[in-house]
Structure 1
């Protein structure tokens, strides 16, 4: 009875500001709990991850015949490094939980169409981010070997653990974010913000931006690492353009069929997102 009375008083299920704050606190607590659990797992896995990340340093010592090692420059350096690695792992492995909590907080204010596109974007963006992070994982050894090779062979290479870890994690995050951009383009196309032909026409600018991004993320003289990053990004870009063009064709066919019912020539409408509004206005007058 109480539930039915509540629905009568608030048929649209609107939430007050206080209810929104309570809901936000709930989502934040669940996300924080997931990260804490991930932090425990990450603290256990951090020695193995750290061994893999610093393996290029040991390879340098063998290949270049120099003294090369990780250096902890303060008493808490080793502990801070392990906690930082554990936190990085925790954020990655708990991302399904905190991404869902963000989605659950925003979803009530979205339309059915926006919810569908949002779910599709998340389901695509997370694998692409992980793929980008893995690509960065593959090129890190080449980057470290190349940059340290500029030092004279008689000089030792003592690297700060904190700075080396910052360099590695920032590189992984930057490349992972770069791999998500094609999914963002597709979502904008599905929302009617940009058309597939516009994405495809900008391919020269896109390739230039991708090459610049790969050049910044990797040393400019390391062409192999630069190619390993740029090639999949270019493929993903053209894949996103192809998906957007196919979606536009389906939308255009549906719009043409709707216009034909009212005897309106499709040539009277434009392809811009604003054209949909003008088309609806004509349909309203016809009806």
Structure 2
């Protein structure tokens, strides 16, 4: 009832600057509470998480049959700092649907109804794609660690710091999670009329080369099978984005919104529209 009354009193949902800041404060508060609550999970299962992270290094140490390959802490305060970092990162990861939704919910009132539907679609597609990329990275990371540690000569110790190794794991997962967002970015550019489906199709060779270079950099495997295993799903998602872009352009042409005519009638000194 109160919400309906506010909607009748303010049908355009206009907010003052102070109301915007209060809304932002409430969104941030909800996000921080969710992260803090779920960080307890990371703190409680810290040993299990460390066992998973350190498993590739321990496997190499068992294969070599010595203790010259191991993770180490550099000082007496680093174990506590590392456990705190793992707990916070776990909370951020588990609470990602909450704080991402709070971010979208803060931005949605400023969008038109059609833009809201598009933004919500991108939101619900981006999360599983990012998690799929991060999951693929965690699956292939042990092989990467074994290859890199394999360059350590016999009788020479390799004792990476726990904090640096943890940062490497997070960087690896973040890089592949972002790589899996390639189709979302391409479709968004097509939706904004910046990149046409035909141009995307013509640049497939350049895109394939860029994906292979990225995969080779992230997975330095001499056999190249790991590189192809990384590049194949990203390249498949690229073709999915091309297909979706063609469908969107076809629907716009049926509605009489031909992208080829959007610059018609503009003078040379007139700015072109972005949407």
Coordinate RMSD, CA, aligned:
2.6
What do residues 135-170 of structure 1 show as CA deviations (whole Å, max 9, x unaligned)?
100111111111111111111221211111111111
How far apart in 2 are the matches of 1:7 and 1:93?
Answer: 34
Matched residue, 1:73: 74
Task: Please report the TM-score for the alignment, with normalisation by the length of structure 2.
Answer: 0.88
Matches within 5 A, 1:1-287: 10-67=10-67, 68-219=69-220, 221=222, 223-255=224-256, 271=260, 273-274=262-263
- Whether the aligned pair in 2 keeps the contact of 1:39 and 1:89 (CA below 8 Å) is yes
Question: Helix, strand or coil: the match of 2:181?
Answer: helix
Matched residue, 2:271: none
Question: Helix, strand or coil: the match of 1:54?
Answer: helix
How far apart in 2 are the matches of 1:199 and 1:93?
Answer: 35
How far apart in 2 are the matches of 1:76 and 1:242?
Answer: 53
- Whether the aligned pair in 2 keeps the contact of 1:192 and 1:273 (CA below 8 Å) is no
Question: Helix, strand or coil: the match of 1:69?
Answer: coil
Question: Helix, strand or coil: the match of 1:271?
Answer: helix
Give ranges in structure 2 of 5+ residues lacking alignment.
268-275
How far apart in 1 are the matches of 2:60 and 2:9?
Answer: 71
Larger Rg: 1 or 2? Answer: 1
Indicate the structure with greater helix content.
Answer: 1
How far apart in 2 are the matches of 1:207 and 1:3?
Answer: 51
What is the Cα deviation at residue 48 of structure 1? Answer: 1.2
How far apart in 1 are the matches of 2:256 and 2:167?
Answer: 51
How far apart in 2 are the matches of 1:4 and 1:84?
Answer: 44
How far apart in 2 are the matches of 1:25 and 1:117?
Answer: 26
What do residues 170-216 of structure 1 show as CA deviations (whole Å, max 9, x unaligned)?
11111111111211212232333322112111111111211122122
How far apart in 1 are the matches of 2:3 and 2:130?
Answer: 42
- Whether the aligned pair in 2 keeps the contact of 1:199 and 1:241 (CA below 8 Å) is yes
What is the Cα deviation at residue 231 of structure 1? Answer: 1.1
How far apart in 2 are the matches of 1:49 and 1:4?
Answer: 47
- Whether the aligned pair in 1 keeps the contact of 2:137 and 2:173 (CA below 8 Å) is yes
Q: How many residues align?
A: 266
Task: Provide closer, same or farther for how the CA distance between residues 6 and 83 of structure 1 changes in structure 2, counting only shifts above 3 A.
Answer: closer
Question: Helix, strand or coil: the match of 1:73?
Answer: coil
Give ranges in structure 1 of 5+ residues lacking alignment.
257-268, 279-287
- Whether the aligned pair in 1 keeps the contact of 2:193 and 2:259 (CA below 8 Å) is no
